[in-house]
Structure 1
Amino acid sequence: MLTSAALVLLMVPGLALFYGGQAHSKSVLNMMMMVFSTFATVGVLWVIVGYSVAFGDNTLGGWFGNPAQYFMLSSLLSESVQTDGLPDVAFAAFQAMFAILTVGLIAGAVANRMKFNSWMVFSLLWALLVYFPIAHWVFDLDAGWIASGLGAVDFAGGTAVHINAGTAALVLALILGKRKGWPNDSPRPHNLTLVMLGAGMLWFGWFGFNAGSAAVAGYAASYAFLNTVVATCTAICGWLIIEQVRDGKPTSLGAASGIVAGLVAITPACAAVTPLGAMAIGFIAGLACAFGVGLKYRFGFDDAFDVVGVHLIGGLVGTLLIGFFAWDGSPAGAGGVFYGGGWGQLGIQAVAALAVIVYSGILTAVIALLVKATMGLRIESEAESVGIDESEHAEVGYDYSGMTSGRTVSGNGAGTTATATPLATKTEA
């Protein structure tokens, strides 16, 4: 469990690289800071009250756990506090990484234009009021109404993590508004090498995310690990096929996005389907998400790095397809339409997904509007033009000041002066 927790932690810098490479060169530091800042906000809040809200005894009819039950995790610190031989503090550490990563996912939708301090406050409130309660519904197998009452299958967080974050990203992007000049003058990714590296780190860390959710190194973890491999492979195929047919060329950004789409879709289903079912889910997710990223142009919402197109749509694909591909011989034990289980599981999966979308959408809107009314959400137009790295952090991702090439001469004779011309100026020209 500790190894799995460390793998999930690695996904946070992986996500920072994945988003940072897609950002404008004047925004890369801010984008990475928004992701890394969730350690400072959500990580601290998790210890104080987050674990209690997510895994405490039902309060208010099961909407969330008792906030005081595990306050500051003090009641977990005895060596005797274990569940089936697993120290509860290890499980708390593992689930902390889920909370941190989920909030970080939202940042990709609002790149280049959100005040950093406002993002910090938003992330605190969103974790407390949205993620922790939904985590209680989905991950608390004894008390959560989605997991134990409804009977939905979500092995590692298709609803609590991806549908949840994707919905929040859509709402926050709508309230924040479009980037200056978007879509006609939207910047291209400044460093696709970072994007590919980030995607690889996410894939590596995702084995902790999915296999680790078994909570023990055994059959279920091995089963989830294998399905996580094959679903991601076929998702890459699906995305690149769409690009080849639609655009004439497969791209590295498409391959990286296909990796994430496959990982997202198999997250809820990794212990519920056969490897053949996992391959089908991954391929369908690659196709669906490749089409889905274009919805922002059709409907006019500026989701900068396709959090909606990949995480919301990919999460929905994986969650709903469990209703078709679930095999009752799997560790999850549910049966879908294709394996004689009937249509009941599909209906259950749809209810779980819809409940998360409605709750996350409404609460995210309330939080965003509250922060907007008190602190403001968006940086000034001039700051957006200069670059959010400089305006929000007084830093730049790439310093060209020491690199010069050529000299321009002004004046004549004894009064001649030489002025260095920065390489950056020539490159931009």
Structure 2
Amino acid sequence: MKFRLSVILILVSVVVGYSSTTEIKIKNIKDFYNKAINEVPLLRFINSKEGIGYSYFLEFLNSQLTSDSTKINALLDNSLSIYSDKGYTYDEFLNPNYIQILKNLIDDSNYFSVTTKDATALSDILENVFYYERNGNEFILEEEKIPFYKQENGFSFKKDISIVTTEESTYLLYGKIHNFFKKGKEWSFYFDVNQKTLNGYFETERFSDNSSKFNISDLEEEKIFGDILDIHKIKKDKFISYIQEFLIPHDEFSKNNFLMILNALDDEEFLMVDSRNIIDNNEYSFLVFSPINLDEIEEFLNRKNLIKGQLGTFNYFKISHDKVGYPVYVYYDNNETIFSTLFPEDMRIYLGEVNRFKYLRTYDSIEKRENLERINIIDLERYFSNKFYSTSSSFITLEYFTEENKEFVNIHIK
């Protein structure tokens, strides 16, 4: 039972990774464990001894706690609330010392409560895992004294008695966040589990809505490859500055070739996919979906005496200079253009073997399908296979959209 405490940190890090004011409520710790950690493949793998390595937490707790399994189990059959106004950044949660991270969350909290009737196991954790000293109705951390109160619904620790917390909810985990994704606004959020997927829903007020929209069905027949995908619309005049950081060397030869392709695109705004390899940082592809003037490209190639190759329905040529930067190729047909660091022999495999988008398991997980502003997909299968020799087919998807003056971000963890 003790190792269940370790998994709370996993969800805490997902929620507070980009926050500066955070309130987290877990309706029932044991229920969350049974429905999320036991059912969601990614969380189950992370918590396993064969996974990323959280098993040391179990060993540490077993050696430190004095309470028996009955008391620990009773403690877990309660709700948990944490409120903090401290700012957190994602890199703070990359520290492998997860016990220290969880301790920091407790240390920095303005409000912390557990709805247990028995303080024994709770005191056991605070004293023997987080090294607080208890003195009567106070816990002492260095020079700070933290009073705790026995209330009708459990125990609470309040450094700031003026805090007003979120109303109760039926969801497994819920609360509010300020500055989520560093946008400077307050978001409410909640998580549930359905069909072995942990679903997180975030919403906030939106004052203006100028983003271009698309439907996921616009891409369902396309072959989209890559472990990390960022799907969105972009205007042609913003495209070169957008991808230049990743692909296009700053020499005149490469710039001229790139601008020629860009000018040949018919649409002034188009749907695109940023595609990256989760293992190889040098592998980038940008898939652009727009009709293109093939005659204009052919005339340019003949005039510049550039050699063209062919992969199925796609033509291609190298747009970067041989002696400047990493090689960059452009692959194109009537309605799609791909700027990529993939060599033709590698691109042949992707174009030949990848299924259409609508047949991918990640496509099925997308809940919001119309009037989208952005979609992110992180497929972890190859990462786990390469790093941990695991066959886990886990992935994460994020959907960004607006409705009725509200901004939403949906997160699905499989």
Which of the pair has the greater relative contact order for Cα pairs under 8 Å at 6+ separation?
Answer: 1
Q: Which has the higher strand share?
A: 2
TM-score by length of 1: 0.24
Q: Which has the higher helix share?
A: 1
| Structure exhibiting the larger radius of gyration computed from Cα positions | 2
